[in-house]
Amino acid sequence: MSQEFPDSVDQIITPKARWDDLVLPMEQTRLLHHMSEQVRQSQTVYSDWGFAARMNRGPGITALFAGGSGTGKTMAAEVLAQDLQVNLHRIDLSAVLTKYIGETEKNLRRLFEVADQGGSILFFDEADALFGRRSEVKDSHDRYASLDSGYLLQRMEAHTGLAILATTTKSNLDEGFLRRLRFVIDFPPPSADDRAHIWQKVFPPQAPIDGLDINRLAAFNLTGGDIHRVALNAAFLAAQDRSKISMATLLAAIRTELRKLDRPVNEADFR
């Protein structure tokens, strides 16, 4: 954890994922590449070509990643950080928010002061905690949250690097904020074909695998995050039994994952 940031707010993620690790529709992948190129060409467009003098807002590249848990939002931010060779800071907005009115802006200011020095990517997870519909202001805390969200967006636009908001409920976000963001990228649940690609990529080359039926595994309606957890749990089951990762261990791990998620388990799928 970065010592310059408030305690329990910032997690520095070491980027490991690369473009080949992402399994997303073509349009989403294209937009992510476009984001990366805008960061690279920022100096040319704003300074050399004079666009900074025509801009009312700052040069920051702002984005919203919207999608359910496990659909690849954090991995996409990691891929961008790896591609651009910069640090990735995952900011827990629930930790930034405080019951003491007015403290949120101070915490945000400290975050951006440090990030502006290093050109880091700021990834604000659980953006729903701050970005609600301004029409739904019910008490003083809601009014201050609206002010804090405006301040956050202002600082994102002034940030010299890339700032990303992540949400699971895009429909709850204020349309005025959405219009001011440079990119809005939806992360859909993976299709059966996408799940098959994720299963093919999830195991390290040195992992001992025995007779996997990828199509059968892909038939289970799991997200990419679910699949990664299942693969890891199956690996531990196999290591415990001193065996290879097989369909039996994977099906056992899938059953456990479905029950953990309170999803129905059809035993016929596991025979």
Which range marks the domain in which residue 230 is found? 192-262
In this structure, the answer to whether residues 157 and 253 fall within a common structural domain is no
Q: What is the reported pLDDT for 134?
A: 43
Residues 146 and 212 in one domain: no
Do 97 and 47 share a domain, yes or no? yes
Residue 5 lies in a domain: no
For residue 1, tell me if it sits in a domain.
Answer: no
pLDDT on residue 71 = 95
CATH number of domain containing 53: 3.40.50.300
Domain count, the chain: 2
pLDDT of residue 55: 80
Q: Are residues 36 and 167 in the same domain?
A: yes
| CA dist., res. 37 & res. 109, Å (int) | 27
Which of these three, 187, 210, 240, is where a domain ends?
187
> Does residue 131 sit in the same domain as residue 202?
no
pLDDT in tens, the chain (271 residues): 344 554 456 788 888 899 999 999 999 999 999 999 999 998 899 889 998 888 877 778 899 999 999 999 999 999 999 999 988 988 877 677 665 556 777 777 877 877 776 668 889 887 776 655 444 445 444 444 455 677 888 888 888 788 999 988 887 777 777 888 899 999 999 999 999 999 999 999 999 999 899 999 999 999 999 999 999 999 999 999 999 999 999 999 999 999 999 888 888 878 7
Question: What confidence score (pLDDT) does residue 266 get?
Answer: 83
Structure confidence at residue 97 (pLDDT):
67
43 within a domain of the structure (yes/no): yes
State the pLDDT at residue 144: 42
Residue 127 and residue 78 share a domain: yes
pLDDT of the residue at 152? 81
Q: How far is CA 221 from CA 179, 194, 212, 246, in A?
A: 33, 11, 17, 19
CA 114 – CA 109 distance, rounded (Å): 9
**Among 161, 187, 213, where does a domain finish?**
187
Tokens of 36: 């990366």
Which of the listed residues 187, 215, 246 is the one where a domain comes to its end? 187
Residues 133 and 50 in one domain: yes
Same domain flag for 157 and 175 = yes
Residue 63 lies in a domain: yes
Q: Are residues 28 and 113 in the same domain?
A: yes
Does 121 lie in the same domain as 36? yes
Q: What is the DSSP letter of 120?
A: P
What distance in Å separates the CA atoms of residue 66 and residue 76, rounded to the nearest whole number?
12
Q: Are residues 135 and 47 in the same domain?
A: yes
Statement to judge: residues 154 and 218 lie in one domain: no
